[in-house]
Amino acid sequence: MYSKLLAFAAILSLAVAAPAVAETIMIDDFNNTTLDSNWVASRALDQGSSASTTFDSSTNPGELTYKVSGYDSKVVQSVLLRDDYHLGIGETLLVDLADVANWTNSGSLEVWGGLAIAMSTGIDERIDLLHISYREKSSTDNKVYWYYFPHTGTHSWGVSGNLTAASVDYLYITRTSSNTYDLGYHVVGDTDRTLLKDELAVDASYTPGNAIGVYSDIRFDGTVMFDNFRKEIVPEPSALALLGCGLIGLLAYAWRKRK
C-alpha cells in the first residue's frame, strides 16, 4: 500500500509540475444578430461630430461590426463595453480582428480597431481607459498602438513597428497584477505573441478591468469588424500544488489509519 501511495504521489507531483492549460471563456462570438443587453456603446471621445456610429452583429452575421457614416472631419472614438465579465489578475482578454483585409480603407485616412478595458461602462471621456488597437492607414503603413488614459495627468502610449497590411489576427491584454498589464498582438503565421509593453503600470486607485470590450476610431465613412471576444484563465501553479499536497495528505492519512 505504501509503495502504491508513493507511486501515486510521484505521478501527482508530475501532473502539478506540468504546464497549466489555459481555460478559454467565450464571452461573445457574435453569432446572434442582436447584441445582448450587457453591451453598452458610448463615445470615449467626441469633438462634436454629427456622424452616425453603430456597433452591431447583423451587418456581417457572425461578426461585430463598427460603422461610421456621415463623417464630418470631427473625431469620434467609440467603445463597446460590458461589466458582467471582468479582467482578473492572471487573466488574458483577446479579440480576433475579422476580415482585416476588407476593412474600409480610404487612402491615407485612418481606421482603428481593438480591445479596451475601463473602470465602468458608459464612459463619455477617455479616463481610466486602456486600449490596444490595430491601425490601418495604407498598404505600407499599418501598426499596433496601445494607449492608457489615466485618471489625472498625461496619457501614455506605445507603438509597434510597421506591419504588412492585414497581418494581425488578434490582440490581447493580460492583467499581471492588481495594477499592471501586458499588451500585445499576434501576427498571422507566427507562433508567438509579440509584446508591445511589458507590465504597463497604472494608478492603483483607478485600475481598468471592471468593464471590458472593444474600441474603434474611424476617420471617414467606414467599417471595422471583430470576432470571438474571449478571455483565457491559466490556473495558478500554487493552487495546483496546494491541491496536489492536499490529496497526498489525505491519502497518507487514510493509509496510516488503515495500517
- Which string of b and e fits 8-19 if b means at least 16 CB within 10 Å? ebeebeeebeee
Amino acid code (one letter) for 141: D
Q: Give CA–CA dist 200/157, Å, rounded.
A: 10
Residue 93's nearest CA partner among 146, 159, 136 is 146
Burial of 253 (0-12, 13-18, 19+ CB in 10 A): exposed
C-alpha distances out from residue 22 to 4, 112, 201, Å: 31, 29, 24
End-to-end Cα spacing for the chain: 9
CB 83 within 8 A of CB 67: no
Overall size of the chain counted in residues:
259
What pLDDT shows up at residue 19?
A: 58
Q: Which residues pair with 111 in a beta bridge?
A: 136, 218
Looking at 6-10, 74-78, 103-107, 228-232, which range is the least confident one?
6-10
What pLDDT shows up at residue 6?
A: 47
CATH class entry, domain 23-234 = mainly beta
Residue 79's nearest CA partner among 37, 130, 152, 136 is 130
The full set of domain ranges for the chain reads: 1-21+237-259, 23-234
Residue 256 has pLDDT above 80, yes or no: no
pLDDT band at residue 191 under the 50/70/90 scheme: confident
Please tell me which residue, 165 or 163, carries the higher pLDDT value. 163
Q: What is the DSSP string of 206-253?
A: S-S-SEEEEEEEESSSEEEEEEEEEEEEPPPHHHHHHHHHHHHHHHHH
What pLDDT shows up at residue 106?
A: 63
Please tell me which residue, 109 or 256, carries the higher pLDDT value. 109
Residue 94's nearest CA partner among 194, 161, 184 is 184
Residues 73-113 pLDDT 10s: 999 999 999 999 999 999 999 999 998 877 876 656 789 99
Residue 243 has pLDDT above 60, yes or no: no
Residues 33-73 pLDDT 10s: 999 999 999 999 999 999 999 999 999 999 999 999 999 99
C-alpha cell at 121: 461602462
Q: Which residues pair with 209 in a beta bridge?
A: none
Who contacts 155 (Cβ-Cβ below 8 Å, separation ≥6)? 126, 147, 148, 149
Rounded to two decimals, the pTM is 0.84
pLDDT, mean of residues 219-239: 86
